[in-house]
Chain A
Amino acid sequence: MLPEIGQFAMILALLLAATQAFFGIAGAWKGNSRWMSAVYPAVAGQFVMLALAFGCLVWSFVHNDFSVRMVAGHSNTALPIYFRVAATWGNHEGSLLFWVFVLSTWTVAVAALSGSLPRAFCGRVLGVLGILSFGFLLFSLATSNPFARLQPAPADGIDLNPVLQDFGLTIHPPMLYVGYVGCSVAFAFACAAMLEGKLDQTWARWTRPWTTVAWMFLTVGVALGSWWAYYELGWGGWWAWDPVENSILMPWLLCTALIHSLAVTDKRGLFKSWTLLLAIMTFSFCLLATFMVRSGVLVSVHSFASDPARGVFILAFLALVIGGALTLYVWRAPLLRSQAGFDLTSRESFLLFNNILLVIATAVVFGGTLGPFIADSLGLGTLSIGAPYFNPTFLLPMLPLMALVSIGVFSRWKRGGLGDSRRRVLGSLLLAVVIGLALIVGVYGDRSLLGPIGVVLGVWIVIASLVDPLDRLRRGLSLSPAILGMTLAHIGLGVLTVGVTTMETRMLERDVALRPGEQVQLGAYTFTFEGVRDVEGPNYSAKQATVAVAHQGKPLATMLPERRNYWVQQTSLAEAALGVGWRRDLLVTMGEDLGNGAWSLRVQVRPLMRYVWLGAALMAFGGLLSTIDRRYRRRVESTEAQTTSQPQQGQPA
């Protein structure tokens, strides 16, 4: 009964989405305020319906209703209850319903918090969001109904894919989806501005907090995905340039460009059409990511569902949304000219370069991800490209970007020449060189080229970002959340860079065959294999190895990697043992029984791995902090005049 209620609720939500889209856009176009008032009940009703539908689905999973095809295919009575809840979005149909549910939640938030926005503009924003919701609901109902029944119902389900039975994966997709869908708000604001034919600094100020929050969720989503791959896939891979990972990275890069470009539009009223284009592209890449992951086009651990009919539908939807938005852009963007000029070494220029480099980085990733598919469809052979392509080409735009961040934070709006800050730029660079080299050469003994460059650039960002806030504190000025947030996010970038560089250039890894009592030496660490015993989990049995680790002869820890055998799907899966710390992560993964009592083990020492996650966390927290700044909450009537007046140094960008 409940699944049918859920499906009925989805159909009602579809109708409400259509209502919302029509009355929002047509109401604003006609200037009919009664039509525009009809949008709000539609938004609320849609939210209630989708919450009901999603609730029904979760209920079916929790209560093991195997007459629902999805539950039978992705759950099992032996599955612990929290994984049964997580299984709701661990599959194609459920994740789509979740996508729309998140979209509806964002829509409610926009409707509730946009009281200060002009009614017509708000109607258009909600109308565009309604179109998106309508498209996704139609897709869900037409090609991937989560409530489809299975007759006769099996006695038990096929179980959730064992690699998904993990805490990281229970929260990674929700974060990512909230981020993707958050970008739809920026997209809707952009479309509304184009429909209106008017885009001023007030528009940028409305859009900024929404975009930053979306960016924050994207950051957390990317980091969680990487973290999950790192410890759950078991082999220490934290970034494999897998097509699915790339599809997440691209919207993140573009969204990063967008929040910087929005800063210029907000502060100086420049880059208007560029900002619009970025908003469109960011959301397009979010849609593309959904398409790439969910259509089964990609070969990767993530493609749990593959059905070409879905691919065609998403592709058509993608073409419609992106094509429509770009047509609107070509038609309307010429109306939105920026007037003011700026100097070649002003903050505007630095942010422009930031945008260019981020877009180049996106293009590089895009080429590497879609190149093989294009070559394949043109009949040029089945080929693949991996890290040897991505690493150098991605660093090419990223290294100059790092340097520009450190110089750029000293620059001033409008005026060039860095002024008095020139000495600070050089000073911070000098300090960064000393600290960076001391760290990477002194501590880790790295004499390669890339290691020192990366670490110095990372340290430089940290130092350079600190100078201005410290200076403000010294002069007794207050630090606004916006400045604090920006500083934290930039420091996060620096920390991330230092972590990634040190880890990638100085990590140690070995595959070994060990008998009980034998040991292997890796740097200063000795791993002693003490034996294997049988253990049992709720839905698996496992061989658990005991590996004692000693640092320079002193006992440090006992690590317990497992090789699990999940009963239902009969899959064997390695569960790595991690010894995490502020200086390094230790990783031991069990391979297989080699006979003669020997086991294959992979042991790894990854210096500063934790700083990769710390950096990402700082960035996300910085983003969150900057959105609570008071200037975004101020009620603004006519701001064109008051914001152009004082472009000054040290304003948050």
Chain B
Amino acid sequence: MTPRRKRIYLVLGVVAGVGIAAALALQAFRSNVMFYFDPTQVTAGEVTKGERFRLGGMVEVGSVKRQPGSLEVQFLVTDFKHQVPVRYTGVLPDLFKENSGVVAHGRLDADGTFVADEVLAKHDENYMPPEVTRSLKKGESRLGQGT
């Protein structure tokens, strides 16, 4: 092999490798993306059945209920226009509180309850995840147009 040809093979190999890696990464990216919906969108039926998604909003005051002594907990997530009931079994995060922002990962079951497998209460210093802030603002402006 001449050095020139060797270099061509090397470059071809690298290009092929990078190409395959990029294709696989893109595939993984597309199949693992989770979209975000607020309660209004969920109520409007914008979510495809059985799709895993992120639900965000505020934990409605007085809605957190649990069977005494059990890990199962139920609460309502609201954007102050619509609510979605959420069911979760497990330890809730430190910052989970009524009337503060929450983001849950999971699916809708047949009767419209959101079954969460992960509940996040990460937020900034104002106790609000940014997506939730945005969808609450959006709700306000929609409300403003309506009235």
Chain A contacts for B109, CB-based, 8 A: none
A234 to B94: give the CA distance in the assembly, Å.
Answer: 9
Known: A344-B10, A511-B90, A594-B66. A383 touches B34 (CB 8 A): yes
Chain B contacts for A368, CB-based, 8 A: 29
Shortest beta-carbon distance, B131 to chain A, in Å? 5
A573 to B95: give the CA distance in the assembly, Å.
Answer: 8
Chain A contacts for B3, CB-based, 8 A: 341
For the complex, is B92 an interface residue (Cβ under 8 Å from A)? Answer: yes
Chain B contacts for A511, CB-based, 8 A: 71, 89-91
For the complex, is B130 an interface residue (Cβ under 8 Å from A)? Answer: yes
Q: Flag the segment in A384-392, A427-435, A551-559, A635-643 that touches B.
A: A384-392
For the complex, is A397 an interface residue (Cβ under 8 Å from B)? Answer: yes
Shortest beta-carbon distance, A547 to chain B, in Å? 14
Q: Which of A300, A305, A589, A591 contacts B122 (CB 8 A)?
A: A300
Contact B24 A574 (CB under 8 A): no
For the complex, is A381 an interface residue (Cβ under 8 Å from B)? Answer: yes
Q: Flag the segment in B13-21, B76-84, B139-147 that touches A.
A: B13-21
A541 to B29: give the CA distance in the assembly, Å.
Answer: 44
A571 to B100: give the CA distance in the assembly, Å.
Answer: 13
Shortest beta-carbon distance, A417 to chain B, in Å? 13
Chain B contacts for A306, CB-based, 8 A: 124-125
Contacts of A490-523 to chain B: CB distance below 8 A: 511-513, 515
Shortest beta-carbon distance, A44 to chain B, in Å? 38
A299 to B22: give the CA distance in the assembly, Å.
Answer: 26
A592 to B69: give the CA distance in the assembly, Å.
Answer: 10
Contact B28 A600 (CB under 8 A): no
Chain A contacts for B36, CB-based, 8 A: 381-384
For the complex, is B70 an interface residue (Cβ under 8 Å from A)? Answer: yes
For the complex, is A296 an interface residue (Cβ under 8 Å from B)? Answer: yes
Chain A contacts for B130, CB-based, 8 A: 299
Interface string of B6-48 (1 = CB under 8 A from A): 1001100010011001101100110011111000000000000
Q: Chain A residue with minimal CB distance to B118?
A: A386
For the complex, is A598 an interface residue (Cβ under 8 Å from B)? Answer: yes
Interface string of A325-348 (1 = CB under 8 A from B): 000000000000000010010000
Shortest beta-carbon distance, B134 to chain A, in Å? 8
Q: For the side of the interface on B, what is the size category?
A: 35 or more
A311 to B126: give the CA distance in the assembly, Å.
Answer: 18
Contact A364 B21 (CB under 8 A): yes
For the complex, is B62 an interface residue (Cβ under 8 Å from A)? Answer: no
Contact B71 A513 (CB under 8 A): yes
Contact A393 B25 (CB under 8 A): yes
Chain B contacts for A602, CB-based, 8 A: 91
Q: Which of A367, A573, A596 contacts B29 (CB 8 A)?
A: A367
Q: Chain B residue with minimal CB distance to A372?
A: B33
For the complex, is B106 an interface residue (Cβ under 8 Å from A)? Answer: no
Chain A contacts for B25, CB-based, 8 A: 363-364, 367, 393, 396
Contact B92 A591 (CB under 8 A): yes
Contact B69 A515 (CB under 8 A): yes
Chain B contacts for A388, CB-based, 8 A: 28, 32
Interface string of A578-604 (1 = CB under 8 A from B): 000000000001011011111011100
For the complex, is A572 an interface residue (Cβ under 8 Å from B)? Answer: yes
Contacts of A284-313 to chain B: CB distance below 8 A: 296, 299-301, 303-306
For the complex, is B129 an interface residue (Cβ under 8 Å from A)? Answer: yes
Contact A344 B6 (CB under 8 A): yes
Contact B32 A594 (CB under 8 A): no
Shortest beta-carbon distance, A193 to chain B, in Å? 25
A601 to B28: give the CA distance in the assembly, Å.
Answer: 34
Contact A573 B94 (CB under 8 A): yes
Contacts of B66-114 to chain A: CB distance below 8 A: 66, 68-71, 89-95
Chain B contacts for A403, CB-based, 8 A: none
For the complex, is A360 an interface residue (Cβ under 8 Å from B)? Answer: yes
Known: A381-B36, A397-B21. A571 touches B95 (CB 8 A): yes
A150 to B91: give the CA distance in the assembly, Å.
Answer: 40
Chain B contacts for A601, CB-based, 8 A: 91
For the complex, is A316 an interface residue (Cβ under 8 Å from B)? Answer: no
Contact B21 A360 (CB under 8 A): yes
Shortest beta-carbon distance, A522 to chain B, in Å? 15
Contact A594 B18 (CB under 8 A): no
Shortest beta-carbon distance, B49 to chain A, in Å? 18
Chain A contacts for B9, CB-based, 8 A: 344
Contact B122 A301 (CB under 8 A): yes
For the complex, is A320 an interface residue (Cβ under 8 Å from B)? Answer: no
Q: Which of B33, B70, B124, B129 contacts A383 (CB 8 A)?
A: B33
Chain B contacts for A598, CB-based, 8 A: 68-70
For the complex, is A324 an interface residue (Cβ under 8 Å from B)? Answer: no
Known: A299-B122, A356-B18. A594 touches B71 (CB 8 A): yes
Q: Chain A residue with minimal CB distance to B9?
A: A344
A502 to B138: give the CA distance in the assembly, Å.
Answer: 46
Chain A contacts for B91, CB-based, 8 A: 235, 511, 589, 591-592, 600-602
A306 to B127: give the CA distance in the assembly, Å.
Answer: 13
Contact A385 B68 (CB under 8 A): no
A303 to B122: give the CA distance in the assembly, Å.
Answer: 10
Shortest beta-carbon distance, B123 to chain A, in Å? 8
Shortest beta-carbon distance, A361 to chain B, in Å? 9
A305 to B124: give the CA distance in the assembly, Å.
Answer: 8
For the complex, is A80 an interface residue (Cβ under 8 Å from B)? Answer: no
Q: Chain A residue with minimal CB distance to B125?
A: A304
A217 to B124: give the CA distance in the assembly, Å.
Answer: 28
Chain B contacts for A597, CB-based, 8 A: 69
Q: Which of A341, A574, A591, A596 contacts B69 (CB 8 A)?
A: A596
A591 to B10: give the CA distance in the assembly, Å.
Answer: 55
Contact A574 B66 (CB under 8 A): no
For the complex, is A41 an interface residue (Cβ under 8 Å from B)? Answer: no
Chain A contacts for B34, CB-based, 8 A: 383-386
Chain B contacts for A161, CB-based, 8 A: 125
A384 to B120: give the CA distance in the assembly, Å.
Answer: 13
Chain B contacts for A393, CB-based, 8 A: 21, 24-25, 28-29
Interface string of A359-377 (1 = CB under 8 A from B): 0100110011001000000
Interface string of A383-421 (1 = CB under 8 A from B): 111101100110011000000000000000000000000
Q: Chain B residue with minimal CB distance to A601?
A: B91
Contacts of A593-618 to chain B: CB distance below 8 A: 594-598, 600-602
Contact B32 A386 (CB under 8 A): yes
Contact B70 A594 (CB under 8 A): yes
Most buried by B among A385, A598, A601: A385
Not counting A382-B134, A512-B71, a sample of 20 additional A-B residue pairs whose C-beta atoms are within 8 angstroms of each other reads A296-B124, A299-B123, A304-B124, A306-B124, A341-B3, A356-B18, A367-B29, A382-B36, A383-B36, A384-B36, A385-B33, A393-B29, A396-B25, A511-B89, A513-B70, A515-B69, A571-B95, A591-B92, A594-B68, A598-B68
Q: Which B positions have Cβ atoms within 8 angstroms of A?
A: 3, 6, 9-10, 14, 17-18, 21-22, 24-25, 28-29, 32-36, 54, 66, 68-71, 89-95, 122-125, 129-131, 134
12 contacts between A and B (CB under 8 A): A299-B129, A363-B25, A382-B36, A385-B33, A392-B28, A393-B21, A397-B21, A512-B71, A513-B69, A591-B92, A595-B69, A598-B69
